[in-house]
Every structure is written in structure tokens, then in C-alpha cells.
Amino acid sequence: MIKNVSIIGAGTMGNGIAHVFAQNGFAVTLIDVNAIQLEKAITIIDKNLDRQVGKEIISEDQKKAALANITTTTDMASGVQNAQLAIEAATENTELKLKIFKQIDEAAPAGCILATNTSSISITKIAAVTKRPESVIGMHFMNPVPVMKLVEIINGYATKKEVTHTIIELSKQLGKVPCVVNDYPGFIANRILMPMINEAIYSLYEGVAGVTEIDTIMRLGMVHPMGPLQLADFIGLDVCLSILKVLQEGFGNPKYAPCPLLVNMVAAGKLGAKSGEGFYSYTLGSKELLVSERFK
Ligand code: NAD
């Protein structure tokens, strides 16, 4: 039975994954190259647990117990040495992930399952740099992790059935709904989502409609909780661009070519909510959704 979970990368997704495992009684080791990022992650988890206490989802004692379940380290080798499951949630960059998987494979115990939270990078390619490709799997949580129910589980070419079964059962234990798919570019979630986001950006770029109109049509017409441009800002425009490139390269089909407007916005550092501006502008503390000056 899995009890000890190590999470590599303490950014947006890593802190959410740590939160959910810790809340469900697992011993979590959160690892990041950046010590400040680890401190930030604990502060965010604390705040998000407070929110759950405020909504009476958990008690104050459960919050304390969850925080006590998390330890942090900047040292990969010691951080994974007792892991039964290691989940990599570092920056979406193929070379970096290959390097990290080689490191985890060296340091983690023989029976440890190695999972990645990648949005789009091939599980099979990542597995191939390890000596245990049959124990490598995609465990794709959605953002924000404590709120979103879905876990997209991705079988690599060599992933063995027992490993998939363990990850399915574990996801259920976390209160999530697992869905198993195979390893092809973008898996299912992003293969379908990213072309829609790209098409929304093309519609804006070609002057078919404005930001508000595009998002309102998709929200009210298709009952999407947020429009595609707002969602792109939330995910991060750099992340959207890199996933589209994976789809374009992986399928060799020009229909996935990223819109030039998206390419330009990323080059200009307009990455969406995290940079303060994308299709909308995000002023600190403001809850109102304001269209960026550039698109008025
Ligand atoms: P992020 O930029 O918020 O965090 C990445 C973290 O990885 C940073 O804290 C960084 O310091 C750390 N890191 C970099 N190199 C490292 C190394 N060698 N060892 C340990 N830590 C290292 O990124 P994120 O948005 O949390 O995304 C993480 C992963 O999750 C990516 O693969 C991304 O595609 C995927 N994902 C993201 C979302 C989303 O909405 N943001 C949703 C689903 C999946």
C-alpha cells in the first residue's frame, strides 16, 4: 500500500498535488530546486487549507494534520529515497523532465512507481530514460488540484497493468475520478482543449469578434464555466504555446499550428494571469475581469 509520496516541483501543480495527498493522510515530501519556491508552496497550501476550513470542508485539526504530513527538501536523492510513488510536476520542458527522471530512477527504491504530471510530453519517451519503463505512468491532475475532480491517467507504451490499477485506485482514494487514456500527443484533455483555445485566439486575431464576445459566446452558448481566452490566461499562454507545438510536431499536421498572436504575446512576456496580463489584465486584489487595453 502506498503511504510515502514524493512530489518533484513545488509550483502551481506541485503544491496542489501535495495538498491533496497530505489532506488524505499520505506522508508527502515536496522537492524543488528553488528553496524560496518551497516556502511559497507551504504558504499557498496553508492558505488553501484555510479556505477549506472556512467553507467547513475540513476542520482546523484536519488542516494541522495535513500540514504536518508535508516535509520539504531541495535534495532530490534524499527526497525520493523512501518514496513508493514519485510524481514529477516540474516545468514543462522535455530535456528537464528526462534529466529529472534519470535522477529519480537512480535514487528511488526499486518498487517505486514514477509518475509525471506533464500536460503533453510523451510518457513513453520519459519512461525510456529509466531502467523501469513498466513502472512509469502519466498522472495528469487538473488545475486547481484541490478542486478539480479529474485525473487523466496515461499509459506509456510499456506501462504494466498493475501500475495502472494502483494509480486508478489511488486517484479514487484522493476523491478524484480517474480516466485512463493512451500515450499520443496531448493525450485527450489537451488534444481537444488546445485546438479550441487556438481557434478562439485566431478568431480574435482575424477580427471576427472581441475578447468579451468570444468568451461570452462560449460561456453562455456552450455552458463552459469560463471562456477559452480566460481559460488560456489561467493556464498560462506559454504553457498553451508549448502544448500546441507538441501537437503540431507530434502529428505533423498544420491544423495545430499556434496562432501568430499567441506566439507574439508569449514573446512579449504577456503570459496571462501569472504575468498580470494576457487577454485580460489582472490587477492585484481585483475580482473584476478586465479586458486588456491591447484588445479594447
Ligand atoms: P510551475 O512553473 O508553476 O512550477 C514548476 C516548478 O518546477 C517550479 O517551482 C520550479 O522551480 C520547479 N523545478 C524546475 N526544475 C526542477 C528540478 N530540476 N527539480 C525540481 N523542481 C524543479 O509549473 P506548473 O504550472 O506547476 O506545471 C508543472 C507541470 O504540470 C508541467 O509539466 C505542466 O505542463 C503540468 N500541468 C500544468 C497545469 C497548469 O494549469 N499549470 C495543469 C496540468 C498540468
Tell me if 151 CB under 6 Å of ligand 1: no
Share of the chain above pLDDT 70, in %: 99
278 neighbors 270 (Cβ within 8 angstroms):
yes
Residue 285 has pLDDT above 80, yes or no: no
- 165-217 pLDDT, tens digit per residue, is 999 999 999 999 999 999 999 999 999 999 999 999 999 999 999 999 999 99
Q: CA 86, CA 89: separation in Å to the nearest integer?
A: 10
Q: CATH 1.10.1040.10 in the chain, residues?
A: 190-295
Count of beta carbons in the 10 Å neighbourhood of residue 36: 9
**CATH code of domain 4-182:** 3.40.50.720
Catalytic-residue membership of 4: no
User: Which CATH fold topology does 190-295 show?
Assistant: N-(1-d-carboxylethyl)-l-norvaline Dehydrogenase; domain 2 (1.10.1040)
Q: CA 82, CA 101: separation in Å to the nearest integer?
A: 16
The verdict on pTM exceeding 0.85 is: yes
At 274, list the grid cell.
501569472
Instruction: With cut-offs at 50, 70 and 90, classify the pLDDT of residue 288.
Output: confident
CA-nearest residue for atom 4, ligand 1, is: 11
Q: How far is the CA of 42 from the centre of ligand 1 (A)?
A: 15
How high does pLDDT run on average in the chain? 96
Q: CATH 3.40.50.720 in the chain, residues?
A: 4-182
- 57-76 pLDDT, tens digit per residue, is 999 999 999 999 999 999 99
Catalytic-residue membership of 119: yes
